[in-house]
Structure 1
Amino acid sequence: MTRLLTRLAVIFIAVGLFFTSQSLAAPQRAAAADPGYLMLHFTGEGTTGQQMYLSHSTDGLHWNDLNDGASILRSTIGTKGVRDPALVRSPDGSKYWIIATDLCWGCGSTVDGSINNGSRNLVVWESTDLVNWSQPWLLNVAGAIPDGRNAWAPEAIWNPDTNDYVLYWATNVPLNGKTKHRIFYARTSDFRTITTPQTYIDRPGSQELIDTQIIEMPAGVGNYRYVRASGDGQITLEGSNSILGTWTNLGNLSGIGLTGAQVEGPMWMKFRDGNEWTLYLDQYASRGGYMPVTTTDPSAAGTYKLPTSGNYNLGGTKKRHGSILNLTAPEESRVLARWPSTSAKRLQSFNFQDRYVRHANFDVRIDQNITGPDAQFRLRPGLAGSGTVSFESVNMPGYFLRHANNDFQLVRNDGSSQFAADATFRQVAGLADSTWSSFQSYNHPDRYIRHYAYYLKLDPITTVTGRSDATFRVTN
């Protein structure tokens, strides 16, 4: 059975050996006062797991799920699922991109269809601050590859030799009627247009290759400026002094018992305190999630060390193929402020206590006995002012309850001051019962959130009925 068939089979079959509290023998890490690390990842199959998640670590070994373990971005385009994301920062730190596989496994797609007639697109988001993201767009990277069947596991790295990014990914171009994924690349400056795709890594014969990630080395460590790790039946290491130049095989990790039949999704991270790196590897065959192996020289296969018990924890959600960013202090402050672990809440109507606020097709109303994510919101610090709240949807992260023309809809935050004001409210004692709550508009303080004919409105409150309609309980 080929590596790919093994990989596909274990998506649906749980195989013993699940590492739940693995750890790593490593030197004492840097003080938590130093900026930490941000991991972008997905968590599993289905429409919920195949979205964008963030985790934070102060030491690179112990991870906390941000946003209470919920997704921070949801794809609304293509297959409406995203996997294998890469987080890209521009050299000057003024822009960021997320690029991800456009694939929703188990959401109506078949194994054969995803491999042989899958999306040729990547899903891309852009940001200027790492917390406010654009609407996603599709970037067709495999459509120009003759007989290219899909586009999986994208990565990108800045290339100083060409002053743009090398964007690389896996595409199945069958060989002798059988599946063969290999790595292609194109150049881009904006992740909206690309040069004609070219073959980047192609192993001999029928050997497939889906996952690869490159890390740039500091001067004085090893003999190469760049090292890449690839899943190609082994976890193969290669070195080069030019991203688009010649690469030299440096060996693999079979010496410590790790092959491509056991692990995939190599994900590099450099520790801040000294010349030490970890290569996180996804234990896909055992469904064990990521584990770190460490080294003081990524180009030397014999220096890698397996984890032992005691020193690492991946947090509450399973981390699947993604990337890690070493944060600056301002980036860390913004990220932690934007996605604190705030539990999901519901808003219960005072005078129709079997009804709760929910969104449906982006409209907002109160419905009976709603418990699902359409009726769950996170009460965030108000977008427009201190001491206020804004309501962010749990299943549509980045979308908030917003009033317009005295009506309410669930709307994506566009970052404008007008949006912030329209989506911000003061939580005050309930107008009908002081043990409950009412929500006063930030920019129209004579008006409150209320329901009318079961739909949410923003109205002045002058009657007993109005006070009841404008009173809610924040509950689980």
Structure 2
Amino acid sequence: MQRTSSRVGAALVTALLMLTAHVLVAVDRASAADPFTGYLMAHFTGEHANGEQIYFTHSKDGLHWTELNNGAPVLLSTVGDRGVRDPAIVRSSAGDRYWIIATDLRMSGSGRSWSDASNNGSTSLVVWESTDLVNWSAPRLLDVAGGIPTAGDAWAPEAIHDPVSGDYVLYWATNATIDGVRKHRIHYVRTRDFRTITAPQVYIERSGTQHIIDTQIVESSRDVSGFRYYRASKDSQITIEGSNSILGSWTTVGNLSHLGLTAGQVEGPMWMRFNNRDEWALWLDNAGGDGYLPIASTDLSSTQNFRRLSDYSLGTARKRHGSVLNLTAAEESRVLAKWGTTTPANRLQSFNFPDRYVRHANFDVRIDANVSRIEDSQFRIMPGLADSSAVSFQSLNYPGYYLRHQNYDFVLAPYDGTARFQADATFRQVPGLASSSWSSFQSYNYPDRYIRHYAYQLRLDPITTATGRGDATFRVTG
């Protein structure tokens, strides 16, 4: 009897678990099927100090974009090459998880050539994971190309869910020697979690010595465009192909040379489907110019249907090779709540030299009068990088750069994500040492020292005299 009761109880528990799982799946699928209301672009900005990191930009209409997080990076790579390029943002098929995958590569300040980067670079990708688009895991490395003999790199990753197998096809470009020919080919693996992968296989190869590097796939509607999937690739042109299966045979649709857009001019093709209508934009990265430009079509089955768009704006910063995620209202609300508020810019006025303000010049920091580029003396007072109850000073015209002390001197430096930087760039705002109606700024990691000017240069010093108290007192002005 006891064993029978146990079996009945177990059956009930199993039934309840199955019901719970069914409800959870239903909720996930419903959330993934919610109508889209906005767009999120993940991208990098170029070969400068913190340009090779993850940036987010938002749009309501898919054409006019605004930088998030005050134009600063939202994620920093602290693994591998400590820089990332070509990010792709992926929503899980259930709508309950997101991944960002990116090239593990930093060119800025590395001193390396592109030849060295492609022949002796990282064979890993950098991966972040989130359940809500705003709280992201620490970055991790995923070695996708290490199993390819003679592999020199792993560039421009993308991923798409395969409804046939239920997993994801993760694909990227690797420079390797196969059958005596060294060139970039697109390889792929399968994965369910972006942690465990199958052995890499060649996915796309062009004839002869022709490289292929940037490829991105978009799902279409066959009743509108003929094929279920389309991919745009950078080879000798920007080539468009169509297929009804991700890993099946692909048919060449054409290229964009008739629009004056060739692989010598543009790269990094980035698909985006407009919300609420059967129209697609293909953004192309004008790497030697101003960044992305869009073309659009309501029928992808012929490249002659594409038209160039002129009514668009990409915001202030240059946008480089990335991807676009269509956002539901709930996703959009979370993203904007986290990064959409613009922090106002302020100036720090000297107490004992009131005509002078803290400013940066060639990344050194001092107090000056008559600052000719006022943006050099404007900072966003942010929650402290090491302690949110304290403050950090982010440059207005160099987003992602902060005032920090080094050997008790001050510089304007790009945030590198390290604990040392966080501590060096964090200060406690206290009543002014010379006037309590003003402010002084106490070092977070050297609490016996304060920001002060000496011979007009900004320093971090102990304060023991009346002159020092005046030097260490500032007014925060609009």
Q: Which TM-score applies when normalising by structure 1?
A: 0.71
Quote the residue 2:167 is aligned against. 164
Question: Residue type of the partner of 2:127?
Answer: V
Structure 1 residue 160: deviation in Å? 1.5
Letter in 2 for 1:156: A
The alignment covers a number of residue pairs equal to 398
Distance 1:83 1:207 in 2: 23
Contact 1:439 1:449 in 2 (8 A): no
Matched, 1:149 2:152: yes
Report which of the two structures shows the higher radius of gyration computed on alpha carbons.
2
- Determine what percentage of the aligned residue pairs are the same residue: 57
Q: CA deviation at 1:255?
A: 2.7
| Cα distance change of structure 1 residues 381 and 46 upon mapping to structure 2, 3 Å threshold | closer
What's the CA shift for 1:391? 4.8
Given the alignment, which residue of 437, 448, 453 partners 1:452? 448
Q: 1:100 aligns with which of 102, 111, 136?
A: 102
Q: CA deviation at 1:434?
A: 4.7
In structure 2, how many angstroms separate the alpha carbons of the residues matched to 1:139 and 1:242?
A: 26
Is the contact between residue 168 and residue 186 of structure 1 (CA under 8 Å) also seen in structure 2?
A: yes
Q: What is the CA deviation profile of residues 348-374 of structure 1, one whole-angstrom value per residue up to 9, with x for unaligned ones?
A: 898999999xxxxxxxxxx98499xxx
CA pair 305-355 structure 1, distance change in 2 beyond 3 A = closer
Alignment CA distance shift 1:229-1:429 (3 Å): same
Partner residue of 1:313?
313
Helix, strand or coil at the partner of 1:338: helix
Q: Which residue matches 1:245?
A: 248
| C-alpha distance 73-350 of structure 1, shift in aligned 2 (>3 A) | farther
1:174 corresponds in structure 2 to: 177
Q: Residues 142-291 of structure 1: matches in 2 within 5 Å?
A: 142-174=145-177, 179-218=182-221, 220-284=223-287, 286-291=288-293
Shift of 1:323: 0.3
Matched with 1:40 is 42
Distance (Å, rounded) in 1 between the aligned partners of 2:71 and 2:265: 26
Relative contact order (C-alpha < 8 Å, sep 6+): which is higher? 1
Q: Distance in 1 between matches of 2:304 and 2:365?
A: 62
1:355–1:212 distance in 2 versus 1, CA, 3 Å: same
Partners of 1:347 and 1:184 lie apart in 2 by 53
Specify the code of the residue in structure 2 equivalent to 1:269. Answer: M
The CA distance in 1 between the partners of 2:141 and 2:244, in whole Å, is 32
Distance 1:262 1:370, change over 3 A: same
Change (3 A) 1:62 1:472: same
Quick one: distance in 1 between partners of 2:353 and 2:145? 53
| Distance of 1:338 and 1:312 partners within structure 2 | 25
Q: Give the secondary structure class of the aligned counterpart of 2:208.
A: coil
CA distance in 1, matches of 2:125, 2:74: 18
Computed over aligned residues only, the root mean square deviation of the Cα atoms, in angstroms, reads 4.3
SS at match of 2:49: helix
Offset at residue 43 of structure 1 (A): 0.9
Task: Give 5+ residue unaligned stretches, structure 1.
Answer: 1-32, 357-366, 402-409, 415-422, 441-447, 456-463
Separation in 2 of the partners of 1:96 and 1:169?
18
Do 2:36 and 2:326's aligned partners in 1 also have CA atoms closer than 8 Å?
no
The verdict on how the C-alpha distance between 1:424 and 1:56 changes in structure 2, with shifts beyond 3 A counting, is farther
Q: Which runs of 5+ in 2 are unaligned?
A: 1-34, 359-363, 369-376, 405-414, 420-425, 452-465
User: Using a 3 Å threshold, how does the CA distance of structure 1 residues 314 and 355 change in structure 2: closer, same or farther?
Assistant: closer
Residues 73-152 of structure 1 mapped to structure 2, 5 A cutoff? 73-107=75-109, 108-152=111-155
Give the match's secondary structure for 2:337.
Answer: helix
Summarize the Cα distance change of 1:450–1:155 in structure 2 as closer, same or farther, 3 Å threshold: same
After superposition, the Cα gap between the structure-2 partners of 1:34 and 1:142, relative to the gap in structure 1 and judged at 3 Å, is: closer
Q: Is the 8 A contact 2:36 2:276 kept in 1?
A: no
Q: 1:71 to 1:251 in 2, by over 3 A?
A: same
Give the residue type in structure 1 aligned to 2:302. Answer: A
- Alpha carbons of 1:90 and 1:396: their partners in 2 closer, same or farther (altered >3 Å)? farther
For the residues of structure 2 that align with 1:53 and 1:294, how far apart are their CA atoms?
A: 24
Which residue of structure 1 aligns with residue 371 of structure 2? Answer: none
Conserved 8 A contact 2:157-2:173: yes
